[in-house]
Amino acid sequence: MLLTVRDLSVSFGGVHALNLSHFSLEDKELRVIIGPNGAGKSTFLDILCGKTKPNSGEVLFNGTPVLGKTEVEIANLGIGRKFQKPSVFPSLTVYENMLLAFKMKKSILASLFFKPTEEIDTRIREVAARVGLVKELKKIAGELSHGQKQWLEIAIVVLQDPRLMLIDEPAAGMSDEETEKTGELLMQLSKQHGIIVIEHDMKFVEQIAQDLVTVLVRGKLLVEGSFGEIRNDQRVIDSYLGR
Ligand code: ADP
Ligand code: MG
């Protein structure tokens, strides 16, 4: 198992945001998490990347305990996170934004004197090609379309070469065409990385859910199964899909 989670619990001011009894992910698995607003989906990813500290529980990544480690330590272990809201630097070019993925691994002092090697340059172009941003490399990131900004963010995570990618609502606000392209990209990426994706758009979920789908409701695991199984599960229909 790439990731094993047990009895993870976190509350904010007395409100139980997450109470996850178990969750596990295999290497190179693409897992989709769905559930109503406030179900604890983003909180779960926040815990996995070290942004939020749980009250109790256990998280093993590749056999290594993760809880108690800092965000940087967890990133260096190989867990990369793409947040829900775009956070690229709008005044830098696409290329410069991608370069930052390498600088982030260095100390502040080392990053000041950082010069891209040919190897890094090649890797940036490779990843840009994968996410469909080759022609945009010199463009200012702030001028990209919404979809392109999301792909740039995914590219920045890919450049850190994580074994596990955490991706929160990548298709939010995208056109149908952009959504489909994003789905194809994620399926490509899952050949090399374990991926957990949070998503609302059921058409998109159907496109990418080749493995298991996990349904969270009110912080708890309601059910796990294939897309076909969860779509026809009465509990899922009652608590999420039917609304
Ligand atoms: P989802 O991503 O499934 O919509 P979240 O994980 O964002 O849900 O939120 C789960 C619950 O925890 C919600 O009730 C939310 O209001 C609460 N919550 C999330 N983050 C915080 C925080 N930093 N402080 C207080 N409450 C929070
Ligand atoms: Mg969320």
Of 107-116, 122-131, 135-144, the one with minimum mean pLDDT is: 107-116
Of 80-94, 99-113, 174-188, the one with minimum mean pLDDT is: 99-113
Type of residue found at 114:
F
Amino acid 22: pLDDT? 96
| Protein residue closest via CA to atom 17 of ligand 1 | 17
For residue 212, the domain's CATH number is 3.40.50.300
Q: What is the pLDDT of residues 41-95, one digit of tens each?
A: 999 999 999 999 999 999 999 999 999 999 989 999 999 988 656 678 999 999 9
Q: How many CB atoms lie within 10 A of CB 184?
A: 12
Cβ(12) – ligand 1 distance below 6 Å: yes
Number of domain units in the chain? 1
Cα of 36 vs centre of ligand 1, distance in Å, is: 12
Buried/exposed code over 67-103 (b: 16+ C-beta within 10 A; e: otherwise)? bebeeeebbebbbbbbbeebebeeeebbbbbbbebbe
Q: What is the pLDDT of residues 184-225, one digit of tens each?
A: 999 999 999 999 999 988 999 999 998 899 999 999 999 999
Amino acid 46: pLDDT? 96
- The pick from 19, 20, 43 for probing ligand 1's pocket by mutation, whose C-beta has the most ligand atoms within 8 angstroms, reads 43
Cβ(40) – ligand 1 distance below 6 Å: yes
Q: Which residue has the higher pLDDT, 241 or 25?
A: 25
Three-state DSSP class for 209? Answer: coil
Q: Give residue 104's pLDDT band: very low, low, confident or very high (50, 70, 90).
A: low
Domain containing 127 equals 3-241
For range 123-138, the mean pLDDT: 96
User: To which residue do tokens 């983003």 refer?
Assistant: 42
Q: Give residue 143's pLDDT band: very low, low, confident or very high (50, 70, 90).
A: very high
> What six digits make up the tokens of 44?
């779960």
Question: How high is the ipTM of this complex?
Answer: 0.96
d(CA 43, CA 17): 7
Q: Which long-range contacts (CB under 8 A, 24 or more apart) does 234-240 make?
A: 239/36, 239/215, 240/34, 240/35, 240/36, 240/215
For range 8-20, the mean pLDDT: 94
User: To which residue do tokens 């890797």 refer?
Assistant: 123
For residue 239, is pLDDT > 70?
Answer: yes
For residue 111, is pLDDT > 70?
Answer: no
For residue 110, is pLDDT > 70?
Answer: no
Cβ(15) – ligand 1 distance below 6 Å: yes
d(CA 18, CA 11): 7
